[in-house]
Amino acid sequence: MSTLKFKIVTPEKVIYENEILQVTIPTMSGEITILPNHIPLVSVLKAGEMRIKDKDGEQNLAVSGGFLEIRGNNEIVILADHAERAIDIDTAKAEEAKQRAEEQMKNLKNVQDVDYARLQAVIDRELNKIKIARKYKNLPNK
Amino acid sequence: MPVNTKAIKGRIKSVGSTKKITKAMEMIAAAKMRKAVNAALDTRTYATLAWDLLVSLSKTQKTQLPLLAVRPVQKILVIIVTSNRGLCGSFNSNIIKKVSAQLKNPAHIAKQIVGDKELPGSENITIDVVGIGKKGADFAKKMNYNLVAAFTNMTDTPSVDDALPIAKMAIDAYESKSYDKVIVAYTDFRSAIFQLAKLRQVLPISEADLEKMITGKEDLEKQESKQKNLQEDTYLFEPNRLDVLQTILPRLVETQIYQAMLESAASEHSARMMAMRSASDAAEDMIKELNLNFNKARQAGITQEIAEIAGGAAALE
Protein backbone atom coordinates (compact mmCIF):
# COMPACT_ATOMS: atom_id res chain seq x y z
CA MET A 1 0.00 0.00 0.00
CA SER A 2 1.40 3.35 -0.92
CA THR A 3 2.09 5.97 1.67
CA LEU A 4 2.31 9.73 1.77
CA LYS A 5 5.52 11.58 2.53
CA PHE A 6 4.21 13.97 5.10
CA LYS A 7 5.88 17.03 6.53
CA ILE A 8 4.47 19.80 8.65
CA VAL A 9 6.61 22.86 9.32
CA THR A 10 6.03 26.16 11.06
CA PRO A 11 8.29 29.19 10.88
CA GLU A 12 9.82 27.94 14.14
CA LYS A 13 10.57 24.33 13.36
CA VAL A 14 9.63 21.07 11.71
CA ILE A 15 6.82 19.65 13.82
CA TYR A 16 6.41 16.24 12.33
CA GLU A 17 7.81 14.34 9.39
CA ASN A 18 6.98 10.78 8.50
CA GLU A 19 5.47 8.34 6.05
CA ILE A 20 1.78 8.31 6.74
CA LEU A 21 -1.34 6.56 5.55
CA GLN A 22 -3.81 9.41 5.63
CA VAL A 23 -4.31 12.84 7.07
CA THR A 24 -7.36 14.91 7.86
CA ILE A 25 -6.87 18.63 7.53
CA PRO A 26 -9.10 21.58 8.40
CA THR A 27 -9.22 23.94 5.44
CA MET A 28 -11.09 27.11 4.66
CA SER A 29 -13.63 25.20 2.64
CA GLY A 30 -14.12 22.43 5.17
CA GLU A 31 -12.30 19.43 6.50
CA ILE A 32 -10.58 17.25 3.93
CA THR A 33 -8.91 13.88 4.19
CA ILE A 34 -5.95 13.14 2.00
CA LEU A 35 -5.13 9.61 0.93
CA PRO A 36 -2.17 8.48 -1.17
CA ASN A 37 -2.18 9.28 -4.90
CA HIS A 38 -4.03 12.53 -4.44
CA ILE A 39 -3.70 14.98 -7.29
CA PRO A 40 -1.66 18.16 -6.72
CA LEU A 41 -3.59 20.57 -4.57
CA VAL A 42 -3.00 23.86 -2.85
CA SER A 43 -5.34 25.01 -0.12
CA VAL A 44 -5.54 27.33 2.84
CA LEU A 45 -5.67 26.07 6.40
CA LYS A 46 -7.86 27.28 9.18
CA ALA A 47 -7.68 26.82 12.90
CA GLY A 48 -8.67 23.30 13.81
CA GLU A 49 -7.60 19.81 14.48
CA MET A 50 -5.36 17.76 12.23
CA ARG A 51 -5.47 13.99 12.47
CA ILE A 52 -2.60 12.02 11.04
CA LYS A 53 -2.78 8.27 10.66
CA ASP A 54 0.48 6.42 10.35
CA LYS A 55 1.52 2.83 10.91
CA ASP A 56 1.65 3.19 14.65
CA GLY A 57 -1.67 4.88 15.16
CA GLU A 58 -3.12 8.35 15.17
CA GLN A 59 -1.48 11.67 15.91
CA ASN A 60 -3.48 14.74 16.78
CA LEU A 61 -2.26 18.25 16.18
CA ALA A 62 -3.71 21.66 16.79
CA VAL A 63 -3.04 23.82 13.74
CA SER A 64 -4.04 27.33 12.80
CA GLY A 65 -3.43 29.28 9.65
CA GLY A 66 -1.10 28.46 6.81
CA PHE A 67 -1.41 26.39 3.70
CA LEU A 68 -0.94 22.91 2.40
CA GLU A 69 0.65 21.73 -0.78
CA ILE A 70 0.20 18.29 -2.22
CA ARG A 71 2.78 17.50 -4.85
CA GLY A 72 2.38 15.03 -7.63
CA ASN A 73 4.52 12.29 -6.20
CA ASN A 74 2.71 11.51 -2.96
CA GLU A 75 4.41 14.30 -1.09
CA ILE A 76 2.43 16.50 1.18
CA VAL A 77 3.85 19.63 2.74
CA ILE A 78 2.01 21.72 5.28
CA LEU A 79 3.25 25.20 6.00
CA ALA A 80 1.39 26.11 9.15
CA ASP A 81 1.54 29.37 11.05
CA HIS A 82 1.22 27.46 14.28
CA ALA A 83 1.06 23.79 15.04
CA GLU A 84 1.37 21.81 18.20
CA ARG A 85 0.81 18.21 19.14
CA ALA A 86 -2.20 17.69 21.32
CA ILE A 87 -0.15 16.06 24.04
CA ASP A 88 2.31 18.96 24.11
CA ILE A 89 -0.22 21.72 24.57
CA ASP A 90 0.03 23.64 27.80
CA THR A 91 -3.60 24.45 28.55
CA ALA A 92 -2.83 27.01 31.23
CA LYS A 93 -0.50 28.91 28.94
CA ALA A 94 -2.99 28.83 26.10
CA GLU A 95 -5.73 30.12 28.40
CA GLU A 96 -3.48 32.92 29.52
CA ALA A 97 -2.53 33.90 25.97
CA LYS A 98 -6.16 33.95 24.98
CA GLN A 99 -7.08 36.22 27.85
CA ARG A 100 -4.22 38.54 27.07
CA ALA A 101 -5.35 38.84 23.46
CA GLU A 102 -8.94 39.47 24.51
CA GLU A 103 -7.82 42.16 26.89
CA GLN A 104 -5.80 43.85 24.17
CA MET A 105 -8.80 43.67 21.91
CA LYS A 106 -10.89 45.53 24.48
CA ASN A 107 -8.25 48.14 25.14
CA LEU A 108 -7.71 49.02 21.54
CA LYS A 109 -10.55 51.39 20.85
CA ASN A 110 -9.76 52.49 17.37
CA VAL A 111 -8.22 49.30 16.19
CA GLN A 112 -6.83 49.04 12.74
CA ASP A 113 -8.09 46.24 10.59
CA VAL A 114 -4.76 44.51 10.62
CA ASP A 115 -4.47 44.54 14.41
CA TYR A 116 -8.00 43.38 14.76
CA ALA A 117 -7.48 40.50 12.38
CA ARG A 118 -4.27 39.55 14.09
CA LEU A 119 -5.80 39.51 17.56
CA GLN A 120 -8.79 37.59 16.33
CA ALA A 121 -6.44 35.03 14.83
CA VAL A 122 -4.60 34.71 18.14
CA ILE A 123 -7.85 34.17 20.01
CA ASP A 124 -8.99 31.56 17.50
CA ARG A 125 -5.70 29.81 17.73
CA GLU A 126 -5.60 29.60 21.51
CA LEU A 127 -9.24 28.55 21.74
CA ASN A 128 -8.52 25.82 19.28
CA LYS A 129 -5.51 24.67 21.25
CA ILE A 130 -7.50 24.53 24.46
CA LYS A 131 -10.27 22.60 22.82
CA ILE A 132 -7.99 20.00 21.33
CA ALA A 133 -5.92 19.65 24.47
CA ARG A 134 -9.07 18.99 26.50
CA LYS A 135 -10.24 16.47 23.99
CA TYR A 136 -7.11 14.34 24.03
CA LYS A 137 -5.46 14.90 27.33
CA ASN A 138 -8.17 13.22 29.32
CA LEU A 139 -7.93 10.03 27.37
CA PRO A 140 -6.41 7.45 29.69
CA ASN A 141 -4.03 5.89 27.18
CA LYS A 142 -2.43 9.17 26.08
CA MET B 1 64.99 53.70 32.93
CA PRO B 2 62.24 54.03 35.50
CA VAL B 3 60.13 56.41 33.36
CA ASN B 4 60.05 54.01 30.47
CA THR B 5 58.98 51.03 32.55
CA LYS B 6 56.19 53.03 34.08
CA ALA B 7 54.83 53.98 30.67
CA ILE B 8 54.97 50.37 29.53
CA LYS B 9 53.22 49.23 32.68
CA GLY B 10 50.42 51.70 31.98
CA ARG B 11 50.02 50.37 28.48
CA ILE B 12 49.93 46.78 29.64
CA LYS B 13 47.18 47.70 32.02
CA SER B 14 45.09 49.49 29.41
CA VAL B 15 45.51 46.74 26.82
CA GLY B 16 44.57 44.26 29.51
CA SER B 17 41.32 46.01 30.29
CA THR B 18 40.51 46.34 26.60
CA LYS B 19 41.04 42.64 26.32
CA LYS B 20 38.63 42.02 29.15
CA ILE B 21 36.00 44.05 27.32
CA THR B 22 36.50 42.31 24.00
CA LYS B 23 36.46 38.95 25.74
CA ALA B 24 33.15 39.81 27.41
CA MET B 25 31.72 41.03 24.11
CA GLU B 26 32.84 37.82 22.47
CA MET B 27 31.00 35.75 25.05
CA ILE B 28 27.85 37.83 24.70
CA ALA B 29 28.00 37.60 20.92
CA ALA B 30 28.52 33.85 21.15
CA ALA B 31 25.46 33.43 23.33
CA LYS B 32 23.36 35.61 21.05
CA MET B 33 24.75 33.84 18.03
CA ARG B 34 23.63 30.47 19.27
CA LYS B 35 20.10 31.76 19.61
CA ALA B 36 20.08 33.58 16.29
CA VAL B 37 21.61 30.67 14.40
CA ASN B 38 19.04 28.28 15.80
CA ALA B 39 16.26 30.61 14.80
CA ALA B 40 17.66 31.00 11.30
CA LEU B 41 18.19 27.28 10.79
CA ASP B 42 14.77 26.36 12.10
CA THR B 43 13.09 28.79 9.79
CA ARG B 44 15.18 27.72 6.84
CA THR B 45 13.14 24.58 6.21
CA TYR B 46 9.96 26.58 6.21
CA ALA B 47 11.40 29.28 3.99
CA THR B 48 12.84 26.80 1.50
CA LEU B 49 9.55 24.93 1.25
CA ALA B 50 7.66 28.17 0.97
CA TRP B 51 10.00 29.35 -1.74
CA ASP B 52 9.59 26.08 -3.63
CA LEU B 53 5.86 26.46 -3.52
CA LEU B 54 6.08 30.08 -4.52
CA VAL B 55 8.21 29.36 -7.54
CA SER B 56 6.18 26.42 -8.74
CA LEU B 57 3.04 28.47 -8.37
CA SER B 58 4.49 31.34 -10.33
CA LYS B 59 5.49 28.88 -13.05
CA THR B 60 2.20 27.13 -13.43
CA GLN B 61 -0.05 30.10 -12.89
CA LYS B 62 -0.71 32.31 -15.80
CA THR B 63 -3.26 34.28 -13.85
CA GLN B 64 -2.40 37.92 -13.84
CA LEU B 65 -2.08 38.62 -10.17
CA PRO B 66 -0.39 41.88 -9.34
CA LEU B 67 2.30 40.15 -7.30
CA LEU B 68 3.27 37.88 -10.17
CA ALA B 69 3.24 40.53 -12.88
CA VAL B 70 6.56 41.19 -14.55
CA ARG B 71 6.94 44.74 -15.80
CA PRO B 72 9.82 46.54 -17.49
CA VAL B 73 11.82 47.95 -14.64
CA GLN B 74 11.88 51.63 -13.95
CA LYS B 75 11.88 51.88 -10.20
CA ILE B 76 13.65 49.49 -7.91
CA LEU B 77 13.26 49.11 -4.20
CA VAL B 78 16.27 47.78 -2.37
CA ILE B 79 15.88 46.58 1.20
CA ILE B 80 19.23 46.51 2.95
CA VAL B 81 19.48 44.40 6.08
CA THR B 82 22.34 45.52 8.29
CA SER B 83 23.06 45.73 11.99
CA ASN B 84 22.28 48.49 14.42
CA ARG B 85 25.64 48.39 16.09
CA GLY B 86 29.18 48.27 14.87
CA LEU B 87 32.16 46.29 16.15
CA CYS B 88 31.25 43.32 14.05
CA GLY B 89 34.18 43.08 11.70
CA SER B 90 33.41 43.43 8.03
CA PHE B 91 29.76 42.42 8.38
CA ASN B 92 28.29 45.78 7.46
CA SER B 93 30.98 46.85 5.04
CA ASN B 94 30.60 43.61 3.08
CA ILE B 95 26.91 44.04 2.48
CA ILE B 96 27.31 47.74 1.75
CA LYS B 97 30.12 47.09 -0.69
CA LYS B 98 28.01 44.52 -2.46
CA VAL B 99 25.01 46.82 -2.69
CA SER B 100 26.88 49.88 -3.85
CA ALA B 101 28.67 47.87 -6.52
CA GLN B 102 25.31 46.73 -7.85
CA LEU B 103 23.67 50.13 -7.57
CA LYS B 104 26.42 51.79 -9.55
CA ASN B 105 25.38 49.66 -12.45
CA PRO B 106 21.61 49.56 -12.21
CA ALA B 107 21.12 48.21 -15.73
CA HIS B 108 22.29 44.82 -14.54
CA ILE B 109 19.82 44.40 -11.71
CA ALA B 110 17.06 46.01 -13.72
CA LYS B 111 16.97 43.09 -16.10
CA GLN B 112 13.92 40.92 -15.86
CA ILE B 113 14.22 37.32 -16.79
CA VAL B 114 11.12 35.76 -18.27
CA GLY B 115 11.63 32.18 -19.28
CA ASP B 116 14.83 32.25 -21.29
CA LYS B 117 14.44 35.81 -22.42
CA GLU B 118 15.87 38.83 -20.76
CA LEU B 119 13.87 41.96 -20.53
CA PRO B 120 16.13 44.99 -20.28
CA GLY B 121 15.20 47.77 -17.88
CA SER B 122 14.32 51.23 -19.03
CA GLU B 123 16.88 53.96 -19.56
CA ASN B 124 16.37 55.94 -16.40
CA ILE B 125 16.24 53.67 -13.45
CA THR B 126 15.52 55.15 -10.09
CA ILE B 127 16.40 53.35 -6.94
CA ASP B 128 14.83 53.72 -3.52
CA VAL B 129 16.29 52.21 -0.41
CA VAL B 130 14.75 50.83 2.74
CA GLY B 131 17.21 50.42 5.55
CA ILE B 132 16.81 47.77 8.19
CA GLY B 133 19.35 48.55 10.88
CA LYS B 134 21.08 51.85 11.48
CA LYS B 135 24.15 51.13 9.41
CA GLY B 136 22.21 50.54 6.22
CA ALA B 137 20.18 53.68 6.75
CA ASP B 138 23.32 55.72 7.35
CA PHE B 139 24.88 54.32 4.22
CA ALA B 140 21.88 55.27 2.09
CA LYS B 141 21.91 58.79 3.50
CA LYS B 142 25.61 59.19 2.93
CA MET B 143 25.45 57.95 -0.64
CA ASN B 144 22.44 60.13 -1.40
CA TYR B 145 20.13 57.32 -2.26
CA ASN B 146 16.52 58.00 -1.71
CA LEU B 147 15.86 56.49 1.70
CA VAL B 148 12.13 55.89 1.87
CA ALA B 149 12.04 54.14 5.23
CA ALA B 150 14.38 53.04 7.96
CA PHE B 151 13.66 50.35 10.51
CA THR B 152 16.25 50.84 13.19
CA ASN B 153 14.60 49.37 16.24
CA MET B 154 15.19 45.74 15.44
CA THR B 155 15.98 43.36 18.25
CA ASP B 156 18.76 40.80 18.22
CA THR B 157 16.40 38.03 17.32
CA PRO B 158 13.79 39.44 14.97
CA SER B 159 10.30 38.01 15.18
CA VAL B 160 7.75 37.64 12.44
CA ASP B 161 6.03 40.75 13.72
CA ASP B 162 9.15 42.76 12.94
CA ALA B 163 9.14 41.59 9.35
CA LEU B 164 5.45 42.21 8.74
CA PRO B 165 5.45 45.98 8.27
CA ILE B 166 8.39 45.80 5.89
CA ALA B 167 6.79 43.07 3.84
CA LYS B 168 3.49 44.90 3.78
CA MET B 169 5.14 48.06 2.57
CA ALA B 170 6.95 46.22 -0.21
CA ILE B 171 3.84 44.34 -1.29
CA ASP B 172 1.62 47.42 -1.28
CA ALA B 173 4.15 49.43 -3.24
CA TYR B 174 4.55 46.67 -5.77
CA GLU B 175 0.85 46.22 -6.21
CA SER B 176 0.33 49.93 -6.72
CA LYS B 177 3.11 49.84 -9.31
CA SER B 178 5.31 52.34 -7.49
CA TYR B 179 8.10 49.81 -7.87
CA ASP B 180 8.78 47.29 -10.58
CA LYS B 181 11.23 45.22 -8.64
CA VAL B 182 11.98 44.60 -5.00
CA ILE B 183 15.36 43.31 -3.95
CA VAL B 184 16.54 42.28 -0.51
CA ALA B 185 20.21 42.64 0.32
CA TYR B 186 21.15 40.47 3.28
CA THR B 187 23.95 38.39 4.65
CA ASP B 188 23.52 34.69 4.23
CA PHE B 189 24.66 32.63 7.18
CA ARG B 190 26.85 29.78 5.99
CA SER B 191 28.84 29.01 9.10
CA ALA B 192 30.19 30.76 12.15
CA ILE B 193 33.27 31.84 10.25
CA PHE B 194 31.82 32.42 6.81
CA GLN B 195 28.95 34.66 5.83
CA LEU B 196 28.08 35.85 2.39
CA ALA B 197 26.51 39.13 1.36
CA LYS B 198 23.70 38.47 -1.09
CA LEU B 199 21.11 40.20 -3.19
CA ARG B 200 17.86 38.47 -3.77
CA GLN B 201 14.89 39.42 -5.85
CA VAL B 202 11.70 39.12 -3.87
CA LEU B 203 9.22 40.67 -6.24
CA PRO B 204 8.25 39.86 -8.91
CA ILE B 205 8.50 36.23 -7.89
CA SER B 206 10.89 34.65 -10.32
CA GLU B 207 12.17 31.19 -10.89
CA ALA B 208 15.49 32.47 -12.17
CA ASP B 209 16.33 33.63 -8.70
CA LEU B 210 16.05 30.15 -7.36
CA GLU B 211 19.20 29.19 -9.19
CA LYS B 212 21.05 31.99 -7.54
CA MET B 213 19.88 30.69 -4.23
CA ILE B 214 21.43 27.29 -4.51
CA THR B 215 23.94 26.97 -1.76
CA GLY B 216 24.94 23.36 -1.65
CA LYS B 217 24.38 19.90 -2.86
CA GLU B 218 21.27 19.44 -0.83
CA ASP B 219 19.55 22.28 -2.58
CA LEU B 220 20.75 21.05 -5.92
CA GLU B 221 19.15 17.68 -5.41
CA LYS B 222 15.99 19.29 -4.22
CA GLN B 223 15.86 21.39 -7.32
CA GLU B 224 16.27 18.42 -9.61
CA SER B 225 13.50 16.48 -7.98
CA LYS B 226 11.33 19.54 -8.10
CA GLN B 227 11.88 20.10 -11.77
CA LYS B 228 10.74 16.60 -12.40
CA ASN B 229 7.44 16.95 -10.70
CA LEU B 230 6.85 20.44 -11.99
CA GLN B 231 5.95 19.19 -15.41
CA GLU B 232 3.10 17.12 -14.18
CA ASP B 233 1.91 19.63 -11.65
CA THR B 234 -1.09 21.65 -12.41
CA TYR B 235 -2.42 22.43 -9.05
CA LEU B 236 -5.97 22.10 -7.95
CA PHE B 237 -7.04 24.99 -5.78
CA GLU B 238 -9.48 24.99 -2.94
CA PRO B 239 -11.69 27.00 -2.44
CA ASN B 240 -10.57 28.65 -5.69
CA ARG B 241 -7.41 29.70 -7.40
CA LEU B 242 -7.69 33.42 -6.84
CA ASP B 243 -8.47 33.22 -3.12
CA VAL B 244 -5.70 30.78 -2.46
CA LEU B 245 -3.10 32.74 -4.36
CA GLN B 246 -4.15 35.96 -2.75
CA THR B 247 -3.69 34.47 0.70
CA ILE B 248 -0.54 32.61 -0.04
CA LEU B 249 1.54 35.01 -2.07
CA PRO B 250 1.84 37.80 0.51
CA ARG B 251 2.59 35.25 3.21
CA LEU B 252 5.35 33.78 1.15
CA VAL B 253 6.89 37.16 0.49
CA GLU B 254 6.77 37.90 4.21
CA THR B 255 8.52 34.65 4.91
CA GLN B 256 11.31 35.50 2.49
CA ILE B 257 11.90 38.86 4.13
CA TYR B 258 11.71 37.34 7.61
CA GLN B 259 14.22 34.71 6.63
CA ALA B 260 16.58 37.35 5.26
CA MET B 261 16.39 39.16 8.59
CA LEU B 262 17.09 36.00 10.56
CA GLU B 263 20.03 35.08 8.38
CA SER B 264 21.43 38.56 8.81
CA ALA B 265 21.00 38.45 12.57
CA ALA B 266 22.80 35.12 12.77
CA SER B 267 25.56 36.45 10.53
CA GLU B 268 25.89 39.64 12.53
CA HIS B 269 26.43 37.86 15.81
CA SER B 270 28.88 35.38 14.31
CA ALA B 271 30.77 38.21 12.65
CA ARG B 272 30.90 40.10 15.92
CA MET B 273 32.03 37.04 17.79
CA MET B 274 34.85 36.44 15.34
CA ALA B 275 35.85 40.10 15.35
CA MET B 276 35.94 40.15 19.11
CA ARG B 277 37.85 36.92 19.28
CA SER B 278 40.55 38.24 16.99
CA ALA B 279 40.62 41.47 18.99
CA SER B 280 41.15 39.46 22.19
CA ASP B 281 43.88 37.44 20.50
CA ALA B 282 45.56 40.59 19.26
CA ALA B 283 45.40 42.07 22.76
CA GLU B 284 46.93 38.90 24.14
CA ASP B 285 49.84 39.14 21.68
CA MET B 286 50.28 42.78 22.47
CA ILE B 287 50.41 42.12 26.20
CA LYS B 288 53.05 39.46 25.67
CA GLU B 289 55.20 41.80 23.65
CA LEU B 290 54.75 44.65 26.09
CA ASN B 291 55.67 42.36 28.96
CA LEU B 292 58.83 41.41 27.15
CA ASN B 293 59.68 45.05 26.56
CA PHE B 294 58.89 45.84 30.17
CA ASN B 295 61.21 43.13 31.44
CA LYS B 296 63.94 44.24 29.07
CA ALA B 297 63.62 47.84 30.24
CA ARG B 298 63.62 46.77 33.87
CA GLN B 299 66.71 44.60 33.37
CA ALA B 300 68.43 47.43 31.51
CA GLY B 301 67.65 49.75 34.42
CA ILE B 302 69.15 47.30 36.94
CA THR B 303 72.21 46.70 34.82
CA GLN B 304 72.74 50.41 34.48
CA GLU B 305 72.37 50.96 38.20
CA ILE B 306 74.92 48.25 38.98
CA ALA B 307 77.26 49.70 36.39
CA GLU B 308 76.89 53.08 38.01
CA ILE B 309 77.58 51.73 41.50
CA ALA B 310 80.52 49.72 40.25
CA GLY B 311 81.79 52.80 38.40
CA GLY B 312 81.42 54.91 41.55
CA ALA B 313 83.25 52.32 43.69
CA ALA B 314 86.06 52.11 41.13
CA ALA B 315 86.41 55.91 41.17
CA LEU B 316 86.83 55.89 44.98
CA GLU B 317 89.69 53.44 44.95
The pLDDT tens digits for B220-241 are 444 444 444 444 457 777 777 7
- A62 plus A127 within the same structural domain: no
CATH (domain of A129): 1.20.5
Percent of chain B with pLDDT over 70: 83
Domain of residue A73, residue span: 4-87
Q: Is residue A81 part of a domain?
A: yes
- CB of B238 within 8 Å of a chain A CB? The answer is yes
B58 versus B34: the higher-pLDDT residue is: B34
Q: Is residue A126 part of a domain?
A: yes
At residue B189, the 3 state secondary structure works out as strand
- A82 plus A114 within the same structural domain: no
Q: Closest approach of chain A CAs to the CA of B184, in angstroms?
A: 19
ipTM: 0.74
**What does the pLDDT average to over B21-37?**
91
Q: Is residue A109 part of a domain?
A: yes
Least confident interval from A7-11, B73-77, B172-176, B230-234: B230-234
Least confident interval from A4-13, B153-162, B201-210, B247-256: B201-210
Total structural domains within chain A: 2
Cβ <8 Å between B229 and A73? yes
- A68 plus A22 within the same structural domain: yes
Least confident interval from B94-103, B110-119, B238-247: B110-119
- A93 plus A83 within the same structural domain: no
**What does the pLDDT average to over B131-160?**
82
- A37 plus A96 within the same structural domain: no
Residue A13 is nearest to which of B42, B168, B235, comparing CB atoms? B42
- A12 plus A78 within the same structural domain: yes
What does the CA dihedral A96, A101, A105, A111 come to, rounded to 10 degrees? 160
Q: Is residue A142 part of a domain?
A: no
Q: Is residue A51 part of a domain?
A: yes
> Is B49 tagged catalytic?
no
- Pick the residue of B38, B48, B59, B235 with the most A CBs within 10 A to test the interface with A by mutation: B235
Is the pLDDT reported for residue B260 higher than 80?
Answer: yes
What is the secondary structure of chain A as a DSSP string? ---EEEEEE-SS-EEEEEEESEEEEEETTEEEEE-TTPPPEEEEB-SEEEEEEETTEEEEEEEEEEEEEEETTTEEEEEEEEEEEGGG--HHHHHHHHHHHHHHHHH-SS--HHHHHHHHHHHHHHHHHHHHHHHHHTSTT-
> Tell me, what DSSP letter sits at residue B74?
S
Rounded CA gap, A6 and B45, in Å? 14
- A26 plus A95 within the same structural domain: no
CATH (domain of A61): 2.60.15.10
Q: Is residue A61 part of a domain?
A: yes
Q: Is residue A38 part of a domain?
A: yes
- A33 plus A81 within the same structural domain: yes
Rounded CA gap, A137 and A140, in Å? 8
Q: Closest approach of chain B CAs to the CA of A141, in angstroms?
A: 32
Around B288, how many Cα atoms within 13 Å sit in the side-chain half-sphere? 6
- A107 plus A70 within the same structural domain: no
- CB of B69 within 8 Å of a chain A CB? The answer is no
- CB of A121 within 8 Å of a chain B CB? The answer is no
- A44 plus A60 within the same structural domain: yes
Rounded CA gap, B293 and B84, in Å? 39
**What does the pLDDT average to over B132-152?**
84
Rounded CA gap, B292 and A132, in Å? 70
- A128 plus A116 within the same structural domain: yes
Confidence (pLDDT) at B13 = 93
- Pick the residue of A27, A44, A45, A118 with the most B CBs within 10 A to test the interface with B by mutation: A44
pTM over 0.90: no
> What's the CATH architecture for B27-274?
3-Layer(aba) Sandwich (3.40)
Return the closest-CA partner of residue B263 out of B78, B129, B137, B95: B95
Instruction: Count how many pairs of residues, chain A against chain B, have C-beta atoms within 8 Å.
Output: 75
- A83 plus A48 within the same structural domain: yes
Omega of the bond leading into A26 within 30 degrees of 0 (cis): no
The pLDDT tens digits for B265-311 are 889 999 999 999 999 999 999 999 999 999 999 999 999 999 999 99
At residue B89, the 3 state secondary structure works out as coil
